[in-house]
Structure 1
Amino acid sequence: MLGRSGSGKSTLLNLVAGLDRPSRGSVQVGGVAVHALSETALAGFRRERIGMVFQFFNLLDDLNVLDNVLLPAQLAGMGREKARTQATGLLDRLGVARHARTYPGLPSGGERQRVAVARALMNRPPLLLADEPTGALDSTSAADVRALLTSLNAEGQTVLLVTHDTALAAACATRTIELVDGRLHSDVRNAPLAVAR
C-alpha cells in the first residue's frame, strides 16, 4: 500500500490488526469480522493470524535476540523445545543466528529488522503486516529487507506492506493500492516479481 505520510496507511494496518476500531463500516480479514471481536478475541486473532513488523523494530531491549523471537510463541503457549527449534531456524534462515545471544542494541539496523521479521513469523501467521519496514534503514539494509519480503511473498507468505517509498512499492509489490487523504486512489496489479537470490 502506497501513500504519503498522513494518507491513512498506518491507520488501515491498525484496523486490519484490530488495534483500532472503525468509526463506521466493517473490517473483514480472512473471513473474520475483526471489528466485531472482543478485546480478548482480538488478542487471540492477532496471536494466531497476524505477524507485525514496524519501522523502528520494537524489539525489547532487556531480552536477547532469541528471547525476542521466542516471545510470541510463549504467549501462544507453544512448547519450549518446538519454539526454540523454530526460533533458531528462523534466525538462521534470515542470516542473524550469530546474534541469538546478543541484545538488540548490538546488531545493525538491517539485522534488527530481520530479527523483527523472525519474531513476526514465529507463530506462522497467514498475514504479515509491515509498516514502513525499511524507513529507518540505510540503502543497503533496506535492499536486504526488500529482498527478504519479496522472497517470503514468493514462497506464499501474504504480506501487506505500507510505505511512502514508490521505489520500494515498485520493487516488491504484486499489487499496489494507493491511498490519498484516507481514500482509495488507485489499485493496480503488478507483474509477478523475480525473487532476489
Structure 2
Amino acid sequence: MPQPVIDIRGTSRTYGEGPPALADVNLTVWPGESVAVLGPSGSGKSTLLNLIAGLDRPSAGSVTVDGLRVDRLGEAGSAKYRRARIGMVFQFFNLLDDLTVTDNVLLPARLAGVPRAEARRRAAELLAHLGIDRHTAAYPGTLSGGERQRVAVARALMNRPALLLADEPTGALDTASGDDVRELLTGLNADGQTILLVTHDLRLAEACASRTIELVDGRIVRDTATAAVAR
C-alpha cells in the first residue's frame, strides 16, 4: 500500500496566549488526490499550509510529507525539503520580473544543483506541456495573469515534487484567467499530480478537488468527497 503524501497527526499551533490557530488536526492525503482547504479568514488555512511547507512548526503533533518528518527539520533541512519535495504556487505569482520566463522556471533546478542541460530540457518540456513555450524569452510583466500563473506552475513542477501546494491560485485573476488556471490544475491532477490548494474560490474547489476540507477556528469540521471524483 502506498504511503500518504501528507500525514498530519494531532497537530496544533498556538501563538502566545491566544486561541490556537490549529487545534488537534488530523489529515491524510494520498498520492493522486487533489484536496481543497476552505474556510473563513482566520480559520487556520494559512497556518496549515505553512506547516506543510515547513515554513512554521507545530506546537504539538507531527507533520509528515512524502515520508519526511517536516516538523523535525532545521532551517537548512526545510529549505532543501521545499526544493526537492514540494512545489508552491502563490496568489500573486512571485515571479522575478527581471528574469525571462525560462530563467524563472529554471531557478528551482539551479538552487537544487541540477545539471544545466538536464534543467533546460525539463524547463522546455514543462513550458510546452503547459502551453506557454512561445513565451520562453518574454518577461513576466508582458504576460497576462493566466500566463504568469502558468509560468509559476511550471516553476513549481520543475523538480518533480511529490506535492503541489497552491495558495489562492485564482485569487488575483480575472474570470477568464481563473478558468484557465482551473483547467490547468484539473489536468495536472488527472495526470497524477497530488495537489493541496487553499482557496476561497468554490468553483475552483468544485472543479479541481476530489476532497474538500473545511476549517473553522482551527479545526476540521468537514471532510467530504466532491463531484470531481466522478470526473
Do both share a fold (TM > 0.5)? yes
* 1:114 maps to 2:157: no
Q: Which amino acid aligns with 1:109?
A: G
Aligned mates of 1:106, 1:181 — CA distance in 2: 41
Aligned mates of 1:96, 1:193 — CA distance in 2: 29
Q: Aligned match of 1:104 in 140, 160, 170?
A: 140
Aligned mates of 1:193, 1:159 — CA distance in 2: 17
Aligned mates of 1:183, 1:97 — CA distance in 2: 42
CA contact (8 A) 1:54 1:130 kept: yes
* 1:53 maps to 2:89: yes
CA contact (8 A) 2:132 2:150 kept: yes
Normalised by the length of structure 2, the TM-score is 0.81
Q: Aligned match of 1:171 in 177, 194, 207?
A: 207
Label 1:62 to 1:27 Cα distance change in 2 as closer, same or farther (>3 A): same
* 1:132 maps to 2:168: yes
Aligned mates of 2:196, 2:69 — CA distance in 1: 18
RMSD after superposition: 1.1
Unaligned runs of 5+ in 1: none
Tell me the CA shift for residue 86 of structure 1: 0.8
Q: Aligned match of 2:68 in 32, 40, 55?
A: 32
Q: 184-193 vs 44-53, which deviates more?
A: 184-193
Aligned mates of 2:151, 2:42 — CA distance in 1: 28
CA contact (8 A) 2:168 2:197 kept: yes
Q: Which amino acid aligns with 1:93?
A: H
Q: Aligned match of 1:157 in 188, 193, 215?
A: 193
Higher-helix-fraction structure: 1
CA contact (8 A) 1:88 1:97 kept: yes
Q: Which amino acid aligns with 1:143?
A: D
The aligned counterpart of 2:122 is 86
Determine what percentage of the aligned residue pairs are the same residue.
Answer: 70
Count of residues paired in the alignment: 194
The aligned counterpart of 2:181 is 145
Q: Which amino acid aligns with 1:118?
A: A
Q: Deviations over 1:10-39 (max 9, x none)?
A: 211110010111122221212211111111
> Secondary structure at 2:84's aligned position in 1?
helix
Q: Which amino acid aligns with 1:133?
A: P
CA contact (8 A) 2:170 2:201 kept: no
Q: Which amino acid aligns with 1:55?
A: Q
CA contact (8 A) 1:52 1:128 kept: yes
Normalised by the length of structure 1, the TM-score is 0.95
The aligned counterpart of 1:2 is 38
